[in-house]
Amino acid sequence: MNGAVAPSIFESFNARNLDPEKVAETFVPSKQYEDLIKRRHTLIVGPRGSGKTTLLKMLQEPALEAWKHDGAEYYRSKIDFTGVFIPTDISWGEQLRLLGAESLDGSSRRLLSVATFTTHILRCLIRTIMRRRDSPGKKGMTPFRRILLSAEAEARLASQLCKLWHISDAVPSLLSLRQALSARFANLYSVASREVTLGEKGRQGRLADIEYLHLHFLRNAGLAVELLDDCLGEASGKWALMFDELELAPPWIQDELAQSLRSTDDRFLFKLALNPFTPNDSLLKQTQAAPASGHDFDQIALWYVKKKDALEFCRQLWFQMLDEKNIRRQEPEKVFGGSYFQTVPDDLKESGSRYGPHARITNRFRALAEKDTSFRSYLQQNDIRLDALDAMDDNKRAAKIRKIAPIVAIREFYRQPEVRDMEVGAQRSRKTAKLYSGSESLFSITEGNPRWFIAIVERLLERWDPDRSKKIDFSVQGEEILAASERFQAMLETIPIPEGTAPDDTLGVLSVVSRAANFFHDQLVKGPFKADAWETFEVDAKVPGEILAGLGRAANAGAIVLIPDGDRLILATERDLIGKRFRVSYLLAPIYGLALRLGKSVSLTAILSDKKRSSRLPPGDSQLKIPLK
Amino acid sequence: MRRFLMAVTIPLVRDLDTRALPDEYDLFIATVGYEDRATFISKNLSIRAAERIAVGFTEKHVFNYEANRDWYVREKYTVDEPGEADFGSLIRSKIQRLGFSSERLRLCVDISSMTRTRLAVLVDTFRQMSLPPIDAYFLYAVAAYSPAPKVTFVNRHVGPVLPSFAGWWIHPERPTVAVVGLGYEQNKALGAVEHIQVGEVLLFIPASSERQYSEALELANRTLLKEVRPSGRFYYVVDKPLDCFSDLELLVSSLLHDSNPILLPFGPKIFTLTSLLVAAVHPTAAVWRVSGAEEPTDRVAAGEVTGISACFDNPRRLEDSPDALAETALP
């Protein structure tokens, strides 16, 4: 975009819209990155925003050269291939899918859209070669896998590639070659247009005569690398073809790629980024069938089941964001404060114990006991005396107190009109969001999803004056958390159900998630107190097929989080959902009033057959009216 | 039916003074809708045409639908109720028939109660008809304020309004920019831009003298409005569609140099028409729609009629389009 203004929330949200150098500014290497840099074919599986694009972009040469992290040198020394980033997005996927729709026959459409994708891949490869050849543009860049390509050698390479790729009107330079490939994009559109106008008669022959329509991407990428090696007089090394958001490409392009995975061309690695669930199982079969020796795929899951796993990643990302803004590093607790669910250190100072008679947790238990007979019964049945919590055996306290503390917090919060430290008379939604303020809750809500984390924290940093060293007010945190939840909810509401399915509003992505979330909230807050509250669901065999499709879309969007069962394969088709266990995304917790923890599992059929639960949000302003039925 | 990538006409868009409309048209296309305003223009502008058709629907016969149909029948309009798939061929057959006896067709369309998809089909049909040239006069009865419909938000379609409005990116790796015409459905625009994962959002906001409408619009889009810088907000006046077209066309033309624009027209139908005309001028830009099951809402005309005209002449292949050439030359 034009202009030198700071990136908008949308730009900073999505690594797709950022230059690799910009991605490198806040990149924090993770275990997944460590796995990705291996010289292996890899499937990177994760919902939207889980960092698939970021990881792939961080294998590109400009990102690696610009990266200033403490560990950058180590990773640069470990990565022994050149990453070719091949992006796709929803709108382009639609253009490929609709090219010639309702006008051209299926095989012509397939030919044209595969040719378009091939052109895209070859152009990405040329761009990558050009970057390796160019001198570093900025000071402070660390050269990575540079090549020395003389002007003569470049001219020879470009000429040979033009000949191979049936380009006749380019001068012999890589720049001209790249531009010619861009012109081919426009030309492909014209070819499709002309074919619609000319009609079916003679089409096969006409298309057969256009030679570039029949280039195979991998064979031609291989030839380009071979020619480059010849021009350099040495091997340019391995190349990783990195396909981002592959599920958005038309199925026939996925099929084409699936076939290519059988290639034994060992100059290429494949790094494929995908959603967890796919309706197309050909790619799945190819990647799981280990088609040739040494060609089996590693799978990397990009989500965190337990919040503690995400917290360390978020903490590192937080420091990286501070560094990037030249703000002195500060512990997140100092800036965001403690979470409502945490035991605060002040309790130790004030009462000498986290479980003293006036400690926060004791007060909260007492407050709930005063207004909840079922909780009083629970305390009695379990012989828990609130005036003697600090005298309890530590093991018993872990089993009886700490385990239920998050449930008590949620239950006590929603069962009373006011909460300590929060202004009287505030609207409920604002209070609800404040419930999830504080570093631990804030970080948990982002699910370790870099896009969500950056979106929320970026805005909070804009509203914080680090020189005054003051905490960011809970209400400010609450506002940004709620805005992020609302953006997420609006996106979930927008995901379409397939055309042709019954007009049943339970089939929408948010509808199923909403039912589950309302169910969990109700039994957390309204029903008799239960120490083992249901907070996850299992997809049982009775769940109808249409709902399964909705669940797959919900998982791909990140609205529900798969809890893996051992080492089973991560990537799956929708029918494999049966038997899988999920929790609702913590980013929806402020809207539905959920605890940020894993709980007991209930069957999805039990949730769906509970008629008391509405699948819909109440009409009106969801910012003002939290859907508490 | 050929719907995509024909040699298309780039329209010439002009202002339309609704107080000085042509005396007679070859064809007037009205809509039998359920809204009260579906007959407002037909009743008040006494439009004279060689042929007058009123196109209805196969479903949603609620509110004023029956009364509107009866009125059109009484007034001797040809009333037809085609399925959605047949609307384009109905219009095409009318135009083809009239085209035999005329060198240049003058068509008048009341878009007030027309669906967005039909509006797209209409613009697409006009730009694909190679002969004769068409002068289209689009009229729009501004609606009085009514509360936003209850959107149940189980969307059936989020994508190009028609395959022929999908656009064509020469550089798919460039950021997608959403140019959103705001409506007052709760967070509908926000959901769409989040779904598409755009890199930037620019807003076209209808400036209304109706305080209730402005408030409803702001409330429904509060989160989105907070995310968009003031420099990314453009205001348009519903009764000045040519100004809106000019601003939008200039913006899209500029965006095409370094990004991939998608137009998302929510809000008044006149903005949808404007978006379609801009995409007809710049065929590489896309126009999308988000369609959910909405509760039908009766809308009454406020009394004001506005419009815009477009001349569909000189068919040109896409490769002759300045956009295609300019973009191809970009590195």
CB contact under 8 A, B150 and A124: no
Closest residue in A to B330 (Cα) is A179
Mind listing the pLDDT tens digit of every residue in chain B (331 residues)? 333 344 678 899 999 999 999 999 999 999 999 999 999 999 999 899 999 999 999 999 999 999 999 999 999 999 999 999 999 999 999 999 998 777 899 999 999 999 999 999 999 999 987 678 999 999 999 999 998 876 555 778 899 999 999 999 999 999 999 999 999 988 889 989 989 999 999 999 999 878 899 999 999 999 899 889 999 999 999 999 999 999 999 999 999 999 999 999 999 999 999 999 999 999 999 999 998 767 788 999 999 999 999 999 865 544 444 444 333 322 2
Reduce the DSSP state of residue A627 to 3 states and report it: coil
Q: What is the largest CA-CA distance in chain B?
A: 61
pLDDT tens digits along A4-53: 344 455 655 678 888 999 999 889 999 999 999 999 999 899 998 899 99
User: Residues with Cβ < 8 Å from A214, sequence gap 6 or more?
Assistant: A111, A115, A208
What value, to the nearest 5°, has the Cα angle with vertex A339 and ends A334 and A345? 65
| Chain A nearest C-alpha distance from B300 (Å) | 23
For residue A56, list chain B residues with Cβ-Cβ distance below 8 A: none
| Chain A nearest C-alpha distance from B264 (Å) | 12
For residue B177, list chain A residues with Cβ-Cβ distance below 8 A: 1
pLDDT tens digits along A99-112: 999 789 999 999 99
Closest residue in B to A486 (Cα) is B223
Between CA B296 and CA A319 the distance in angstroms is 51
What pLDDT sits at residue A416? 55
Between CA A92 and CA A115 the distance in angstroms is 14
CB contact under 8 A, B262 and A88: no
What value, to the nearest 5°, has the Cα angle with vertex A117 and ends A112 and A122? 125
Helix (H) or strand (E) holding B109: strand B105-110
**Cβ-contact A521, A617 below 8 angstroms:** no
For residue B327, list chain A residues with Cβ-Cβ distance below 8 A: 182, 186
Q: Using CB atoms, which residue from A90, A189, A494 is nearest to B290?
A: A494
For residue B199, list chain A residues with Cβ-Cβ distance below 8 A: 1, 10-11, 14, 16-17
Between CA A365 and CA A92 the distance in angstroms is 54
Higher pLDDT, A12 or A298: A298
**Cβ-contact A443, A311 below 8 angstroms:** yes
Using CA atoms, how far residue B71 sits from B30, B46, B49, B138, B140, in Å, is 12, 14, 17, 21, 19
Q: Which of B130, B319, B128, B277 is nearest to A192 (CA)?
A: B319
From its phi and psi, is residue A404 left (phi > 0), alpha (psi between -120 and 50) or beta?
alpha
**What is the per-residue DSSP string for A235-302?**
---EEEEEE-SGGGS-HHHHHHHHHHTT---TTEEEEEEE-SEES-HHHHHHHHS--STT-PPEEEE-
Between CA A574 and CA A568 the distance in angstroms is 15
What percent helix, strand, coil does chain A show, rounded to 5?
55, 10, 40
For residue A190, list chain B residues with Cβ-Cβ distance below 8 A: 317-319, 324
What pLDDT sits at residue A293? 37
Q: What is the layout of strands, in order, in the sheet containing B105-110?
A: B12-15, B301-312, B134-143, B105-110, B25-31, B49-55, B78-80
What pLDDT sits at residue B165? 97
Pairs of CB atoms within 8 A across A/B? 204
What pLDDT sits at residue A114? 94
Between CA B278 and CA A546 the distance in angstroms is 38
Q: Using CB atoms, which residue from A196, A487, A621 is nearest to B190?
A: A487
Interface probe, candidates A98, A119, A127, A184, chain B, greatest B C-beta count within 10 A: A98
Alpha helices in A341-473 (DSSP H): 345-351, 360-371, 373-381, 394-397, 405-414, 428-435, 439-445, 450-462
What pLDDT sits at residue A625? 33
Range scoring the smallest mean pLDDT among A46-55, A245-254, A280-289, A370-379: A280-289
Number of residues assigned to chain A: 629
What pLDDT sits at residue A216? 93
What pLDDT sits at residue B99? 80
| Chain B nearest C-alpha distance from A148 (Å) | 22
What pLDDT sits at residue B325? 36
From its phi and psi, is residue A620 left (phi > 0), alpha (psi between -120 and 50) or beta?
left
What pLDDT sits at residue A421? 42
In one-letter notation, the amino acid at residue A25 is: E
Between CA A262 and CA A225 the distance in angstroms is 19
Answer whether residue A211 shows pLDDT above 80.
yes
Residue A358 CA from chain centroid, whole number: 42
Alpha helices in chain B (DSSP H): 40-44, 65-74, 87-99, 116-128, 188-196, 211-220, 222-227, 241-255, 269-281, 322-329
Q: Using CB atoms, which residue from B154, B199, B286 is nearest to A507?
A: B154
Tell me which DSSP letter residue A221 carries.
Answer: H
Between CA A34 and CA B17 the distance in angstroms is 66
> How confident is residue A2, by pLDDT bands cut at 50, 70 and 90?
very low
Once rounded to an integer, what is the mean pLDDT over residues A285-306? Answer: 70
What pLDDT sits at residue A417? 47
Q: Using CB atoms, which residue from A91, A487, A508 is nearest to B153?
A: A508
Say what angle helices A360-371 and A373-381 make with each other, to 10 degrees. Answer: 120
Reduce the DSSP state of residue A572 to 3 states and report it: strand
pLDDT tens digits along A465-524: 888 767 999 989 999 998 899 889 988 988 887 766 655 656 688 888 999 999 999 999
For residue B194, list chain A residues with Cβ-Cβ distance below 8 A: 487-488, 490-491, 494
Written as six digits, the tokens of B41 are 């223009």
CB contact under 8 A, A494 and B173: no
> How confident is residue A360, by pLDDT bands cut at 50, 70 and 90?
confident
Interface probe, candidates B84, B168, B200, chain A, greatest A C-beta count within 10 A: B168
Interface probe, candidates A50, A56, A94, chain B, greatest B C-beta count within 10 A: A94
Q: Using CB atoms, which residue from A16, A17, A102 is nearest to B3?
A: A102
| Chain A nearest C-alpha distance from B70 (Å) | 30
Number of residues assigned to chain B: 331
> How confident is residue A616, by pLDDT bands cut at 50, 70 and 90?
very low
Phi, psi for A85 (deg, rounded to 5): -85, 125
What pLDDT sits at residue A281? 74
**Cβ-contact A570, A510 below 8 angstroms:** no
For residue B324, list chain A residues with Cβ-Cβ distance below 8 A: 186, 189-190
CB contact under 8 A, B194 and A1: no
Using CA atoms, how far residue B172 sits from A54, A90, A438, B228, B258, in Å, is 18, 10, 40, 24, 11
Residue whose token pair is 């191979």: A164
**What is the per-residue DSSP string for B169-222?**
-S-TTSPEEEEEE--SSTTHHHHHHHHHT-SEEEEEEEE-S-HHHHHHHHHHTH
CB contact under 8 A, A186 and B327: yes
Closest residue in A to B224 (Cα) is A487
User: Residues with Cβ < 8 Å from A204, sequence gap 6 or more?
Assistant: none
Sign of CA dihedral A485, A490, A495, A497: positive
What pLDDT sits at residue A295? 57
End-to-end CA distance of chain B: 37
Say what angle helices A106-133 and A174-198 make with each other, to 10 degrees. Answer: 170
Interface probe, candidates B164, B194, B325, chain A, greatest A C-beta count within 10 A: B194
Closest residue in B to A117 (Cα) is B172
| Chain B nearest C-alpha distance from A236 (Å) | 25
Between CA A43 and CA A32 the distance in angstroms is 11
Q: Which of A90, A177, A265, A40 is nearest to B288 (CA)?
A: A90
What pLDDT sits at residue A346? 59
Closest residue in A to B331 (Cα) is A179
For residue A622, list chain B residues with Cβ-Cβ distance below 8 A: 186-187
Q: Using CB atoms, which residue from B7, B177, B288 is nearest to A193?
A: B7
What pLDDT sits at residue A354? 78
For residue B260, list chain A residues with Cβ-Cβ distance below 8 A: 91-92
Between CA A456 and CA A613 the distance in angstroms is 31
**Cβ-contact A88, A246 below 8 angstroms:** yes
For residue B163, list chain A residues with Cβ-Cβ distance below 8 A: 98, 101-102
CB contact under 8 A, A8 and B200: yes
Q: What is the layout of strands, in order, in the sheet containing A600-603?
A: A560-563, A581-584, A534-538, A600-603
For residue B288, list chain A residues with Cβ-Cβ distance below 8 A: 91
For residue A491, list chain B residues with Cβ-Cβ distance below 8 A: 190-191, 194-195
Between CA A207 and CA A162 the distance in angstroms is 20
CB contact under 8 A, A494 and B157: no
Written as six digits, the tokens of A20 are 């690799």
**Cβ-contact A449, A488 below 8 angstroms:** no
What pLDDT sits at residue A368? 93
Reduce the DSSP state of residue A560 to 3 states and report it: strand
Tell me which DSSP letter residue B75 carries.
Answer: T
Written as six digits, the tokens of A321 are 């964001």
pTM of the model: 0.90
Residue whose token pair is 């047949």: B86
CB contact under 8 A, A89 and B286: no
A298-301 and A277-278 beta bridge pairing: unpaired
Closest residue in B to A12 (Cα) is B199
CB contact under 8 A, A17 and B199: yes
For residue A22, list chain B residues with Cβ-Cβ distance below 8 A: none
For residue B321, list chain A residues with Cβ-Cβ distance below 8 A: none
Q: Which of A622, A305, A336, A365 is nearest to A493 (CA)?
A: A622
End-to-end CA distance of chain A: 44
Closest residue in A to B291 (Cα) is A496
Q: Which of A191, A190, A133 is nearest to A158 (CA)?
A: A133
Sheet strands (E) in A414-533: none
Between CA B197 and CA A488 the distance in angstroms is 12
| Chain A nearest C-alpha distance from B213 (Å) | 15
Average pLDDT, chain A: 85
Closest residue in B to A192 (Cα) is B5
Average pLDDT, chain B: 89
Q: Using CB atoms, which residue from B1, B168, B186 is nearest to A95?
A: B168
